[in-house]
Structure 1
Amino acid sequence: MEFSLKHKICFLCIMVLLPALCTSQDTFTSSRATYYGSPDCYGTPTGACGYGEYGRTVNDGQVSAVARLYRNGTGCGACYQVRCREPQHCSSDGVNAVVTDYGEGDRTDFIFSRRAYAKLASNPAAAERLFAYGVVEIEYRRIPCRFSGGANLVFKVHENSKYPEYLALVIQYVAGQNDITSVELWQEDCKQWRAMRRAYGAVWDTPNPPSGSINLRFQVSGRAGEKFVQANNAIPGDWKAGLSYETDIQLN
C-alpha cells in the first residue's frame, strides 16, 4: 500500500523533529564556574533574587549566583545540573543547584556556594583541589526543580511590606522547569485582575493592595507552554511582613 503525499510529509516531519525533541533536554552548554565564600558554606541571605533566608538554605545550600542566566530576575529559582568538563577530581553527575542570586565572574556562568562547588568533586580530597583551582571548566543544562518532601508553592510576604498600604511577595518552591513571568491580584471593586510589578529578582509588589484575603494568579512559562495558575485566598486579610503562606499548589 503506497503512502499518500500527506502521509509522506508527516513521516518526514517526524523523522526530522523527533531526534531534536528527544535530545534537546539533554544538551549541555560549556562554560566556567567558581565559588564565593560564606562562614557556613551555605548561600547568602542578601542575594539579588530577594529570597532572604530561603535563598541561603534551599536545596541544602547548593545554590548559585548567575550572570546571563539571571534574565532580569526571571531566572531566579531555576535549577541546573552542572558538571566538570575535565573528569579528573570530579563526579560524573556534578551538582544540581538552584539560582538564588546574580553575580559576574571571570567568564563564568555560575558562582556557587561552597557547598554546591564541593559537590562537583568526586570526594573531599578532590574538592580541596577544586577549591585551589578557583575556577573550573564546566557544562550545564537546565533541569526540573524538585524539593524534598514535595513542598507546596509558598507565598512569602517580603520584609519590606508595610501593612496595609504596600505589599511585596516572593514565590518559593517553584517546582518543575517553570518560570514565573507575571503575577496578578484580584481587585474586587473593579472586578478585574491587577498586575503586580516585578520590583527586582523574584520580588513582586503593589501599592494599596486590596483589603481582606487576596486572590492571586501567576503566569507560568514551562515545557508545556504558558498558563495561568490561580491561588484563591492565598494571602489572608491580616497579612504580616515576613510571614509565609503555603498553598496546596504543586507545579511540575
Structure 2
Amino acid sequence: MNRSMTFVVLLTSFVSVANLTSIDSAWDDAHATFYGDISGGETMQGACGYGDLFKEGYGLETAALSTALFNNGQTCGACFEILCVNSQWCKPKAGSIRITATNFCPPNYAEPIQYHWCNPPNKHFDLSMKMFTSIAEYRGGIVPVKFRRVMCQKSGGVRFEIKGNPYFIMVLVYNVGGAGDVNSVAIKGDNSNWISMQRNWGQIWHTGVRLVGQKISFVIRTSDGRSVTFYNVAPESWTFGQTFEGSSNL
C-alpha cells in the first residue's frame, strides 16, 4: 500500500470515531504555523475583539486565520478540528486538535514568498505553540493539515461585555457554543423595542440608541441559523465595562 493510500485509510478510520456533532463532515486542506511561546504569549485582544483569552475561556486552544478563512471577521468564534498530515514533522498517533478562531493572520506581501502563508487564496491556521506542538514537532515550523468546521463546546452561558458610552453602546459577544460565529445581534431595553445592532469589527456589535438605566436583553443568531433570546441579562444598574452571562448557550 503506498503512502497516499495509507493516509486515506487512516483518515477514514479517524473520521469514523470522530465526534458526530461536527457541522461539516468534509475535510479541507490547509497549512499551520504557530506564534508566541509555550506559555501562551500574545493571547491578548486581536482582530476578533476578544480580550484576555484566558479570562474569557478560550485559553490556548485558539488560532489566527488567513484571509481566505477569516471572512472579514465573520468567522470569529467558529471552531475547527485540525489534523497534521503528510509531513515528517507530524507526531505519530497525535490525533486531532480543536481550536476557536480568535484572530486574523494578515497577508505579508513584503517578505519572500516562502513567508506568504496567510496571503490569499491560502487557507492557513496560525496556532498557539501549545496547539501546534500537540500535533507536530516544534522544528517543523509549518505543516500541511486537514481541517473541518465543528460545533463549539463552551462552558457556561453566552457572555456579553458592554463597552462604549451612553450615545454609542458596543457589545462584545463571546463564549458562544454551537456554530460559534455570531452573524446578527439585536438588543432591547425594557422600555424599547428590539434594535438590530451593527457589526463594528470581529464580534463587537454597536448601536447608537440610548439604553442606559434600562434592563438589557439580547437575541443572537449564529451562522447555522440558530437563534437564542437572553432576557434581562443586564440589570438597570449596569455600567460600561461590565460583563454579563446568559443563562444558556447554543
Question: TM-score per shorter chain, which class?
Answer: 0.7 to 0.9
> Partner of 1:7 in structure 2?
none
Q: Secondary structure at the match of 1:50?
A: coil
Give the equivalent residue in structure 1 for 2:65: 66
Aligned CA distance change for structure 1 residues 99 and 56 (closer, same or farther; 3 Å): farther
Instruction: Give the structure 2 partner of residue 176 of structure 1.
Output: 178
Q: Are residues 1:197 and 2:198 paired?
A: yes
| Displacement of 1:92 | 4.1
Is the Cα contact below 8 Å between 1:82 and 1:140 reproduced in 2?
yes
Q: Percent same amino acid among aligned pairs?
A: 25
Partner Cα distance (1:76, 1:55) in 2: 16
Displacement, 1:242?
Answer: 2.6
Q: Once the 2 structures are TM-superposed, how far is the Cα of residue 96 of structure 1 from its aligned partner?
A: 0.7
Residue 79 of structure 1 corresponds to 79
Q: Distance in 2 between matches of 1:24 and 1:50?
A: 24
Partner residue in 1 for 2:209: 208
Alpha-carbon distance between aligned partners in 1 of 2:229 and 2:177, rounded to the nearest angstrom: 16
Distance 1:169 1:195 in 2: 12
Which stretch has the larger CA shift, 37-46 or 206-215? 37-46
Structure 2: gaps spanning 5 or more residues: 1-21, 107-115
CA contact (8 A) 1:42 1:62 kept: no
2:243 counterpart residue number: 244
- CA drift of 1:44 comes to 2.1
Gaps spanning 5+ residues in structure 1: where?
A: 1-22, 122-129
Say whether 1:142 aligns with 2:149.
yes
151, 156, 164: which one aligns with 2:156: 151
**Equivalences for 1:24-63 in 2 at 5 Å?**
25-38=24-37, 40-54=39-53, 58-63=57-62
After TM superposition, the score normalised by the length of structure 1 is 0.75
Q: Which has the higher contact order (CA 8 A, sep 6+)?
A: 2
CA contact (8 A) 1:38 1:44 kept: no
| TM-score after normalising by structure 2 | 0.75
Which residue does the alignment assign to 1:97?
99
Q: What is the aligned residue count?
A: 213
The Cα offsets for residues 94-152 of structure 1, whole Å up to 9 and x where unpaired, read as 2111100011451451011112211213xxxxxxxx322211111101111113xx321
Q: Is the 8 A contact 2:48 2:103 kept in 1?
A: yes
Distance 1:52 1:59 in 2: 10
**Distance in structure 1 (CA, Å) of the matches to 2:158 and 2:182:** 12
CA contact (8 A) 2:77 2:102 kept: yes
1:25 Cα deviation after fit = 3.1
In the alignment, which of 96, 103, 113 is matched to residue 128 of structure 2?
113
2:96 and 2:139 map into 1 onto residues whose CA distance is: 18
1:49 and 1:100 in contact (8 A); partners too: yes
CA gap of 1:181–1:69, structure 2 versus 1, over 3 A, is same
- Displacement of 1:175 in angstroms is 0.8
Q: CA deviation at 1:171?
A: 1.2
User: For 1:138-196, what per-residue CA distance to the aligned partner results, in whole angstroms no more than 9, with x for missing partners?
Assistant: 1101111113xx321111124xx22x23211111111122431111122666x632111
* CA-to-aligned-CA distance 1:186-227 (integer Å, 9 cap, x gap): 2666x63211110000100112332311122122332xxx24
Q: 2:227 matched to 1:232? A: no
- How far off its partner does 1:56 sit? 7.5
SS of 1:61's equivalent? coil
Contact 2:190–2:216, Cα closer than 8 Å, also in 1: no
